[in-house]
Chains A and B, each alone.
Chain A
Amino acid sequence: MAGRKVAMIGGRTSTLGFKAMGVEAFVAPLPEDGPRIWNQLDLDRYAVIMVTEPVFEVLEREVPGFPPHGGLPVVLAIPAVTGSRETAAARMRERVVKAVGADLER
């Protein structure tokens, strides 16, 4: 399959370093800007879309069917510069609980 790009949605400070590395950065000055940016993305171009946790939370709330499941692109929640909010870890835990029927956190 052809090469795809990596995108990132997040605050200016969180995305700047990645932008220099060839990641296509979309700056969301506020987490609430996330849905607008998300809807403008051409999702077929990307393999991975990194989203900072504050934006991820807003997208989850406001965009139906987010995060996309089963195909590409794969959405990865990463901590913003302000630090980890454990959003991604919590989602992972929910998935495990749903599949296994028990919380395996140790």
Chain B
Amino acid sequence: MARIQVNPNRMELLKLRKRAAIAERGHKLLKDKLDELMKQFMALVQESRRLRREMEARLADAHLIFAIARSEVITEEVEESLSVPTVDLEVEVERANIMGVRVPHFEVRMEGEFDCYSLISTPFSLDAALLNYRDLIPDLVRLAEVENNVSLLAQEIERTRRRVNALEHVLIPSLKETIVYITMKLDEMERSYRTQLMKIKSMQEEAASR
């Protein structure tokens, strides 16, 4: 592990010790955050899976019923009937927050009736078929929201994991190594100073005895 390039003195040692303590605290906090993110993420994944399964089945049904309804009339007639929708569909976008991740939240607003067509020229099964679509739309928007949340959370998890790993495997070890290096260097200096003193003392004693 790469040692940080610093002057080996007591001042730096104290600074590094403080930094190591902060890094370790940060690492613990981030790791807790990652755990919680993971928990939320799993719940969201489960929900999105359930919603999608449900939606796909209902959509297949809706398409089927619609196809049957269409088969009772001429295609152009149906297309003409549906070409000018009278339903006003809008989605209100709000901001929500999951574990500090800003995610959009959708509220569907549907106004007006969908039977914009002549009831004489279309079979009544068309009404039923269209009702299916109308009921599906809020759920589709909800599914879009949940899947979007999953991908935003996945991104945040990746980012947090990278930070945790950087702290755990790069910063903290290199700080620790540098601390050990400075401690040893200081000890070494201390020893060398002591030997010098002993040598001087013995030389003085030698000179005195002569």
Contact = CB atoms under 8 A, between A and B. Distances in A.
A69 B154 CA distance: 12
Interface string B59-70: 110110011000
Interface in A65-84: 69-70, 72, 74-76, 78-79, 81, 83-84
A10 to B, nearest CB: 11
Contacts of A20: 82, 85, 87, 114, 116, 130, 133
Interface of B: 38, 41-42, 45, 48-49, 52, 55-56, 59-60, 62-63, 66-67, 78-79, 82-83, 85, 87-95, 104, 106, 109-110, 112, 114, 116, 129-130, 132-134, 137, 140-141, 143-145, 147-148, 150-155, 157-158
A64 interface: no
A36 interface: no
B40 to A, nearest CB: 12
Nearest to B83: A19
B52 to A, nearest CB: 7
* A interface, size bucket: 35 or more
A70 B158 CA distance: 14
12 contacts: A1-B92, A3-B93, A17-B63, A20-B85, A20-B116, A22-B87, A23-B89, A74-B145, A76-B147, A92-B48, A96-B154, A100-B157
B63 A81 contact: yes
Name which of B59, B92, B94 has the most chain A CB atoms within 10 A of its CB. B59
Interface of A: 1-6, 12-14, 16-23, 47-48, 50, 69-70, 72, 74-76, 78-79, 81, 83-84, 88-89, 92, 95-96, 98-100, 104
B89 A78 contact: no
A93 to B, nearest CB: 9
B170 to A, nearest CB: 19
A13 B79 CA distance: 10
Contacts of B116: 20
Contacts of B49: 89, 92
Contact of A18 (B92, B110, B137): B137
Contacts of A81: 63, 67
A90 to B, nearest CB: 11
Nearest to B82: A20
Nearest to B108: A6
B1 to A, nearest CB: 24
A81 B38 CA distance: 35
B140 A50 contact: yes
Contacts of B67: 13, 81
Contacts of A4: 90-93
Most A C-beta atoms less than 10 A away, residue of B85, B88, B95 = B85
B133 A48 contact: no
